């Protein structure tokens, strides 16, 4: 089920910082206590191929997100120790050294299971052994959540593993939602910050379409 328009789950999750220190992160509380928006992006695995390109893309965009009052948080189901190893591996050796935002280590899959973003595959039951087995890697899809200052999700999206994300679109989404919060105007297709927005009436839409 979609979380858009609903509060993000109130869960504490292990996380790792660049100093190799583990701590707890509650994404809902991060938004509320800091009065900031949050972009939370999930990736399938550490030490893979598309994933580091995304982590570095969000790192490059972090200053732009900060300017928009938005916190960046990454997440996977890897352990905090694997995160630490990856964070301390140089970029030219397949690592993510230089990433400065926290990485959630949802090893018990409590949060990703609540979000419904795990690649669970098909389950099989062996009647002789009374054991369930499951196809698939049991890691997450490339899921992304934008959460407002009250902890309410205003955007979610899910990509298959082979398709990387575009950070510019999430920056645009933050701008659009912030414009609505501040001005009460809705943002048309392909809207960019500084462009015309719409009042919620037919005359405003008709005028916009006539001029675009």
Catalytic: which of 40, 51, 73, 187? 51
In this structure, the number of other CB atoms found within 10 A of the CB of residue 35 comes to 9
- pLDDT for the residue numbered 130: 65
pLDDT above 80: residue 200: no
Q: What is the band of 132 on the pLDDT scale with cuts at 50, 70, 90?
A: low
pTM of this prediction?
A: 0.91
Pairing mode of beta strands 70-76, 103-105? parallel
Mean pLDDT score, 85-104: 95
Question: Is 187 part of the annotated catalytic residue set?
Answer: no
Tokens (6 digits) for 127: 């009647």
Per residue in 142-183, pLDDT tens?
A: 999 999 999 999 999 999 999 999 999 999 999 999 999 999
Domain boundaries for CATH 3.40.30.10 within the chain: 13-165
Q: Return the CATH number of 13-165, one of 3.30.70.600, 3.40.30.10, 3.30.2270.10, 3.40.140.10.
A: 3.40.30.10
- pLDDT for the residue numbered 17: 79
Distance CA 161, CA 140 (A): 9
């Amino acid at each position: 089920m979609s979380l858009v328009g609903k509060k993000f789950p109130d869960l504490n999750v292990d996380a790792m910082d660049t100093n190799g220190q583990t701590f707890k992160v509650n994404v809902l509380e991060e938004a509320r206590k800091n009065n900031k928006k949050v972009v939370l992006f999930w990736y399938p695995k550490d030490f893979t191929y598309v994933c580091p390109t995304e982590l570095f893309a969000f790192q490059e965009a972090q200053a732009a997100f900060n300017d928009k009052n938005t916190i960046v948080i990454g997440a996977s189901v890897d352990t905090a120790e694997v995160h630490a190893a990856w964070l301390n591996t140089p970029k030219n050796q397949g690592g993510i050294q230089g990433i400065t935002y926290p990485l959630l280590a949802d090893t018990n899959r409590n949060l990703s299971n609540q979000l419904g973003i795990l690649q669970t595959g098909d389950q099989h039951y062996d009647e002789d052994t009374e054991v369930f087995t499951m196809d698939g890697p049991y890691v997450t899809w490339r899921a992304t959540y934008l959460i407002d200052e009250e902890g309410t999700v205003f955007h979610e999206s899910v990509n298959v593993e082979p398709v990387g994300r575009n950070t510019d679109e999430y920056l645009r989404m933050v701008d659009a939602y912030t414009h609505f919060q501040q001005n009460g105007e809705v943002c048309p297709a392909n809207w960019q910050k500084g462009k015309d927005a719409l009042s919620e009436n037919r005359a405003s839409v008709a005028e916009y379409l006539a001029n675009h």
